[in-house]
Amino acid sequence: MRHKVIVPAALSALLAFAVPASFRWGGLELGSAQAQSTQPEAGGKISARGKPMIEDGRYIFRYDTFGDEQLWTDVLRMHEVIATVPPATALAVGLKVDADALPPTIVAALQGGQVDLKNPAVTVELLRLNAVVGVRGTVSNTGQLTSVGITCALCHSSVDDSLAPGIGKRLDGWANTDLDVGAIVALSPALDVVTKAEFNAWGPGKYDPRHHAFDGTNFIALNTPLLPIVIPPIYGLKGVGFETFSGDGPISYWNSYVGVGQMGGRGNFTDPRIGLTITQTPDLVTSKLPALLSYQLSLQTPEPPAGSFDREAAKRGKRLFSGEARCVGCHQLPNYTDVLGGRTVPFLHDPAEVGTDPAYAARTATGRYRTTPLRGLWQHPPYFHDGSAADLLAVVDHYDDLFKLGLTAAQKSDLIEFLKTI
């Protein structure tokens, strides 16, 4: 961990352990933070499946589809189209390949430029090897792709490009800023032309988790029009306590929301605040939430690459962050957020208070925004929930205008150097 922690981690950990499946998330019955701080951390525990929690959670995060083939195969028929997609195209829409899953012969062939990245049969072979990050495929003995499903790693993992661009060692927790989910979904033969065009307009690194939900059979309309938001990183969340841009609930609340309603996994989810209840048997999601949580809490913020910032300027920027630029009023240490601060309900901000688009918040359970816990900023532009700030200068300019800070060009540049270190 880069920062020393604290009560809230145990709090969100405990929440997932203690709550029954029927837990009313909206009620957020957290109890007192103090009582929870006496609970052991998730890390050392053995999961229901008999493996150490974190290891089990890593497996679930990377490989478990929760039975979401019911959406990606049965409804969207993605297996039909993926079997025709050349690997070069798959890489171009941001899919990543796990080099550790490749046998040495293929690694050597890739290094020697002998793999035909235009041949769709290679895509199917990569799926057979379980080498496509966040996508699980079943391939028959005759080489037919018979089903596909997705995992959490699709959106929240990248690779280190060590073998080739898009091919390398897994980097779990990193936002996949290249992933064009809209373009991928738009390939589905089950969608009409208008819907395809809408999905195609999203662009990389974005997804709209509030447009619809899938209940195992049907799509439930939630909000229109589509409003894709930035896929965030999920490292460095230990100690944060309330997740999502709008602080809707702890990690396991959101994992359940996404795993069931968005990924299309088979399971139960209910939240009266947003009027959504999904019930499916058997439930392949709920029992996995504790292990999944402990893995997420173990994901640490990556250090900025050597030489990626100016040390002296960053020191000056740090003083500005707490001083003249007034950032620390909301982005409080140790996690650069004020969402919890010992509270049992999230502390949030009206969109107008931070000069940000209210439309997304209006679709959430809280209607307001959480001060984003700043972490790995160098890794995941663009910024703000809607990606409205293309780079860190745009972030600083946004606050300089909004709060009439009157920062000089040199001060802005120092502040940016500091933000690159967070």
Q: Which stretches of the chain bind ligand HEC, using CB under 6 A?
A: 150, 152, 154-156, 181, 207, 209, 229, 231-232, 234, 243-246, 251, 254-255, 258-259, 263, 292, 296, 325-327, 329-331, 349, 353-354, 356, 369, 371-372, 374, 377, 383-385, 395-396, 399, 415, 419
Closest approach of ligand HEC to the CB of residue 392, in Å: 7
What is the spatial distance between Cα 270 and Cα 275, in angstroms, rounded to a whole number?
8
Closest approach of ligand HEC to the CB of residue 413, in Å: 13
What is the spatial distance between Cα 266 and Cα 255, in angstroms, rounded to a whole number?
13
Q: Cβ-count burial of 300 within 10 angstroms (0-12 exposed, 13-18 middle, 19+ buried)?
A: middle
Q: At what angle do helices 289-298 and 53-63 cross, to 10 degrees?
A: 100
- Evaluate whether 96 touches 133 at the Cβ level (below 8 Å): yes
Closest approach of ligand HEC to the CB of residue 22, in Å: 20
**Contact residues for 15 (Cβ-Cβ < 8 A; gap 6+):** 30, 250, 252
Q: Containing H/E element for 213?
A: strand 212-214
Closest approach of ligand HEC to the CB of residue 99, in Å: 22
What is the spatial distance between Cα 246 and Cα 385, in angstroms, rounded to a whole number?
9
Q: Smaller CB distance to ligand HEC: residue 124 or 240?
A: 240
What is the spatial distance between Cα 311 and Cα 166, in angstroms, rounded to a whole number?
30
Closest approach of ligand HEC to the CB of residue 357, in Å: 7
Q: Smaller CB distance to ligand HEC: residue 159 or 231?
A: 231
Q: Smaller CB distance to ligand HEC: residue 18 or 393?
A: 393
Q: Smaller CB distance to ligand HEC: residue 117 or 343?
A: 343
The closest of 203, 201, 221, 202 to 211, measured between CA atoms, is 221
Closest approach of ligand HEC to the CB of residue 55, in Å: 16
Closest approach of ligand HEC to the CB of residue 141, in Å: 30
Q: Smaller CB distance to ligand HEC: residue 270 or 372?
A: 372
Closest approach of ligand HEC to the CB of residue 134, in Å: 7
Q: Smaller CB distance to ligand HEC: residue 122 or 344?
A: 344
The closest of 362, 365, 418 to 395, measured between CA atoms, is 418
Provide DSSP, 267-298.
--EEEGGGTEEE--SS-SSGGGHHHHHHHHHH
User: H helices of 349-388, where?
Assistant: 358-362
Other CB atoms within 10 Å distance of the CB of residue 395: 23
Q: Smaller CB distance to ligand HEC: residue 166 or 351?
A: 351
Q: Smaller CB distance to ligand HEC: residue 90 or 234?
A: 234
- DSSP annotation of 233: P
